A and B are shown apart, each in its own frame.
Chain A
């Protein structure tokens, strides 16, 4: 029950909080999480990230962490008040996964600035033979 509440609170907080962090000088990427039969698929939008070598991924049973370095710093010259002094160089996001996964079986691909991570679920499904 508390996991479920934590999940909702985390989603709400993500929606209400800004998409950048002035202390860490990082942007929060857009993320899409898809729950498929035997795996969780996480897709992350990473504009200005060019090479897979610029992405650090780490995964535990219930959390995926992403840090990605951009090819150049992003600065909004005319945006806001204090924000115009800021330069963002990385994307950073920690994602709570909807189910427990097997970290050792995780795979990732990166194409045209989109990162796709496949995370096999711990709870496998088995086919039942109909007699």
Chain B
């Protein structure tokens, strides 16, 4: 099968190809020569397993993500559905910001909050939430969010881990898209509505983690 390199992410190389006639993405976690071989092997196996497990669990919970086609530990490849006609939420947010489209930014934030609320109420921790790791299909009211890149994910019901997940997103969101504090608050508010049982504890933890976060700059 012909493979075309489309992107080199932090985890590996992404190729566009076809899997039995269906458009697919081949994600190859190639050997990272900078890592100790023992460490590299252990991390790669861990992450491939984590990604496959989370993709399945998301689909079972009604959270949109690419369909998993095949896992090949030997060649370090995961083959999954290629989501057609989609852009990353990072690009989409930039476009909306350039157009000053407050209405659609607001509905985007609500959509993100809703997906994350559902993700966490199913005890899935993504581990690397950024706007680059969310795809969006369609535009404005008719759009849907698809989560990708589950290599660092795991399952846990603890509020601390969910808090860290949101903290990671908050930092990535605010540093990638400056002056969006109000928008991030909308994400959190919608998150609370979609994760009724646990959101209160998670918000408390998030507050705690933010305080921890500031401490580090003390000594230089």
Q: Do A and B bind each other?
A: no
**Chain A residues close to B by CB (< 8 Å):** none
**Chain B residues close to A by CB (< 8 Å):** none
